[in-house]
Amino acid sequence: MIVSILSGKGGVGKTTIAVSLAKVMAKQQETVVLADLDVEEPNAGIFLKKQLRETIEGIVYRPQWREDLCMYCGKCQKYCNFNAIAALPNYVIVFPELCHSCYACSDLCPTSALPMLPYRIGSISLFRVEGGFVFLEGRLDVGQEIASTMVKQTRDRAIQEAEREGIRWLVFDAPPGAACASREAMIKSSAVILVAEPTPFGLHDMKLAYRLVRENEKPCALVINKDSPGYNEIDEFAHSEKIPIIARIPYDPVLAQAYSKGDLSTSAFPELVSAIRNIETWLADLSVNSKGGQK
């Protein structure tokens, strides 16, 4: 089962939930792959005692102009929907940071003047973690513009690792927001856990993330982190959309301090452990219902 931990904005506790869920499952002898898909700012590995197994490059293919083959017809610019090519009267400019590797310019060029060549965009590192699970971290190279491709490659590598090792659970720490990278992180998921904070900004961005989940028809539940009295709008929205609120984690400055030091010892924070147990129960019920034919 693939579970994506998603939030509309950063800093609401997404990584806390993802890492804690993987740790608790591993302590219960569950086989788990934890993948940090927040490739622009991966930080889940800070909270793990891990040993590097291997690192592989994230590769995309981008066109390289061949002046000796070009007939300056300008079709490449016409075919590119991302403005990654400028066809001048006597020169063609390729803007690699805009290229989405769709192959249209290369495949449709009448003289094959735009062959696709490999370019590195980042790396995927695989680790063995103390506690008995596998951890993957995708990391986009500095200066790269398109994170979704790196997210997709890390996601698919995590799924391959789980299939190869016969691992039952995959936990994805997704990028925050509701853009392409977030969609790539959750598109193959069996379920999504939304994490939000009870503030106007938290509600606004959670609505965007929920819309992404709903449009992709993924079952989801909500965890409210840094919970405190006085702001009920997020509860009202969840009720109106029939989103189950499965856990509330009260604001705890001690937990925040531990997080800042890279320490997520779940046993020291009973409210966090209780939230993880509730998530496990919801996932177990969802799995049973799915096997029974319910959506």
pLDDT tens readout for residues 216-244: 999 999 999 999 888 899 999 999 999 99
b/e 190-212 (16+ beta carbons within 10 angstroms → b): bbbbbbbbbbeebbebbbebbeb
CA distances from 35 to 96, 139, 172, 183, 198 (A): 27, 11, 5, 15, 27
| Assigned fold of 65-114 | Alpha-Beta Plaits (3.30.70)
- Mean pLDDT (the chain, rounded): 92
Domain ranges (residues) in the chain: 2-59+123-291, 65-114
pLDDT of residue 94: 96
Distance between CA atoms of residues 27 and 205, nearest Å: 33
Q: Pairing relation of β-strands 191-196 and 2-6?
A: parallel
> Identical fold at 2-59+123-291 and 65-114?
no
pLDDT tens readout for residues 178-208: 999 999 999 999 999 999 999 999 999 999 9
Average pLDDT over residues 148-175: 95
User: 10 Å Cβ neighbour count for 156?
Assistant: 13
pLDDT of residue 121: 95
pLDDT of residue 295: 37
Yes or no: is domain 2-59+123-291 CATH 3.30.365.10?
Answer: no
Confidence of residue 291 (pLDDT cuts 50, 70, 90): low
